[in-house]
Structure 1
Amino acid sequence: MKYTNQFLLVVGLFTFSLLTSLTGYSQKQPAKQTIFAIKNVNVITMTSSNTILENATVVISNNLIQSINGAIPKNATIINGKGKWLIPGLIDAHVHLPTDGYLGQKFPTQIPDLSFNTQDIMTPIIANGVTTVLDLNSTMETFGQKKLIEKGYIVGPRIALAALINGGNGQGRIANTAEEGRIMVRNVKTEGYDFIKVYSKLNIETYNAIVDEAYKQGVKTIGHIPYAFKGKLEQAFIPHFGMVAHAEEFSKNSDSFCVQDAIKFAKLSKDNGTWLSPTLTTMVWIAKQTHSINSIKNLTSLKYVHPLLQSKWLTANNYVKNASSENATYFDNMVKFHFQLVKAFNDAGIPIVAGTDAGVSGVVAGFSLHDELELLVQAGLTPKEALNSATLLSAQWLGIDKQLGSIETGKFADLILLDQDPLTDIRNTRKIAGVFVNGNWLDKTKLNSMLEDLANRNTADKDQFDWKTFMNKKK
Structure 2
Amino acid sequence: MKRNLCIFISFILINTLFSQTYINNVTIADVENQKMIPNQTVVITNDLISNIQPSKKIKIIVNATVIEGEGKYLIPGMTDAHIHFFQNGGLYARPDVIDLRKDMPYETEMALTKSDMEYKLLRYLKNGITTVIDVGANLHFLKQREDFRDKDFSPTIFITGPLLTTYEPQVYENLGDDEPFILTKNIEDGINGVKKQLPLKPDFIKIWYIAGADGLSVEESARKNLPIVKAIINEAHKNNLKIAVHATQRITAQLAVENGADFLVHSVDDEVLKPEFVQLMKKNKTVLCPTLIVHDGYVKTFGQNINPSNYDLLKADPYQLGSLLDLKHLPDTLRINMYKQRANSPQSIASLKAADSISMANLKILSDAGVLIATGTDAGNIGTMHASSYLAELQAMQQSGMNNWQILAASTLNGAKVLGKQNELGSVNVGKKANLVLLDANPIDNIENVTKINRIINKGVVFNPDELLNDAPEDLAQRQLNAYNFRHIDAFLEPYADDVEVYTFPNTLQFKGKEAMRKGYTPMFENTPNLHCELVNRIVQGNTVMDHERVQIGNKIVEAVAIYQIENNKIKKVYFIK
TM range (shorter): 0.7 to 0.9
2:229 maps to: 207
1:301 is paired with a residue of what secondary structure? helix
2:48 maps to: 64
Structure 1 segments unaligned to the other structure (5+ residues): 1-30, 466-475
Deviations 1:362-404 (A, max 9, x none): 3222222222222222212221111111111111222211111
Matches of 2:95 and 2:425 in 1, distance apart?
34
For the structure 1 residues 445 and 297, does the alpha-carbon distance in structure 2 shift closer, same or farther, using more than 3 Å as the test? closer
For the structure 1 residues 110 and 359, does the alpha-carbon distance in structure 2 shift closer, same or farther, using more than 3 Å as the test? closer
Matches of 1:454 and 1:439 in 2, distance apart?
33
For the structure 1 residues 86 and 303, does the alpha-carbon distance in structure 2 shift closer, same or farther, using more than 3 Å as the test? closer
Query: In 1, are the aligned partners of 2:93 and 2:381 still within 8 Å (CA)?
Result: no
Query: In 1, are the aligned partners of 2:404 and 2:446 still within 8 Å (CA)?
Result: yes
Matches of 2:76 and 2:309 in 1, distance apart?
33
Task: Report 1:349-388 matches (<5 A).
Answer: 349-388=370-409
Q: Which has the higher helix share?
A: 1
Query: In 1, are the aligned partners of 2:318 and 2:475 still within 8 Å (CA)?
Result: no
Amino acid at match of 2:41: T
- What is the number of residues matched between the two proteins? 421
Deviations 1:50-83 (A, max 9, x none): 5532111112221221221243221112111110
The reply on whether 1:39 has 2:24 as its aligned counterpart is: yes
Amino acid at match of 1:403: E
1:122 is paired with a residue of what secondary structure? helix
2:287 maps to: 275
CA-CA distance at 1:268 after TM superposition: 4.4
Q: Quote the sequence identity (%).
A: 27
1:352 is paired with a residue of what secondary structure? coil
For the structure 1 residues 439 and 288, does the alpha-carbon distance in structure 2 shift closer, same or farther, using more than 3 Å as the test? same
Matches of 2:315 and 2:255 in 1, distance apart?
44
Query: In 1, are the aligned partners of 2:76 and 2:427 still within 8 Å (CA)?
Result: yes
> Structure 1 length as normaliser, TM-score?
0.78
CA-CA distance at 1:113 after TM superposition: 12
Matches of 2:109 and 2:165 in 1, distance apart?
30
Amino acid at match of 1:120: Y
Matches of 1:280 and 1:35 in 2, distance apart?
40
Structure 2 segments unaligned to the other structure (5+ residues): 1-15, 173-180, 212-224, 331-335, 482-534, 539-578
For the structure 1 residues 328 and 378, does the alpha-carbon distance in structure 2 shift closer, same or farther, using more than 3 Å as the test? same
Query: In 1, are the aligned partners of 2:86 and 2:137 still within 8 Å (CA)?
Result: no
Matches of 2:87 and 2:298 in 1, distance apart?
23
2:259 maps to: 239
Task: Report 1:172-321 matches (<5 A).
Answer: 172-201=181-210, 203-225=225-247, 234-247=254-267, 250-252=268-270, 254=271, 259=272, 261=273, 263=275, 265-286=277-298, 288-289=300-301, 292-295=304-307, 300-301=312-313, 304-305=316-317, 307=319, 310-311=322-323, 314-315=326-327, 320=340
The reply on whether 1:344 has 2:365 as its aligned counterpart is: yes
1:356 is paired with a residue of what secondary structure? coil
Deviations 1:217-256 (A, max 9, x none): 21111121288x86x7643432321121111xx213x3xx
Which structure exhibits the higher relative contact order, with contacts defined as CA atoms closer than 8 Å and separated by 6 or more residues? Answer: 1
Amino acid at match of 1:244: L
2:38 maps to: 54
1:88 maps to: 76
Query: In 1, are the aligned partners of 2:87 and 2:93 still within 8 Å (CA)?
Result: yes
For the structure 1 residues 243 and 434, does the alpha-carbon distance in structure 2 shift closer, same or farther, using more than 3 Å as the test? same
The reply on whether 1:121 has 2:125 as its aligned counterpart is: no
1:210 is paired with a residue of what secondary structure? helix
Matches of 2:389 and 2:339 in 1, distance apart?
19
**Greater Rg over alpha carbons, structure:** 2
Matches of 1:418 and 1:219 in 2, distance apart?
35
> Structure 2 length as normaliser, TM-score?
0.65
For the structure 1 residues 75 and 188, does the alpha-carbon distance in structure 2 shift closer, same or farther, using more than 3 Å as the test? same
CA-CA distance at 1:412 after TM superposition: 1.1
Matches of 1:303 and 1:382 in 2, distance apart?
25
For the structure 1 residues 321 and 119, does the alpha-carbon distance in structure 2 shift closer, same or farther, using more than 3 Å as the test? farther
1:97 maps to: 85
Deviations 1:277-304 (A, max 9, x none): 1011223434544654342598833773
Deviations 1:108-143 (A, max 9, x none): 875499533333222221111000000112234323
Deviates more, 1:319-328 or 1:386-395: 319-328
CA-CA distance at 1:264 after TM superposition: 5.6
Matches of 1:284 and 1:262 in 2, distance apart?
25
1:148 maps to: 147
Match 1:445 to one of 456, 462, 466: 466
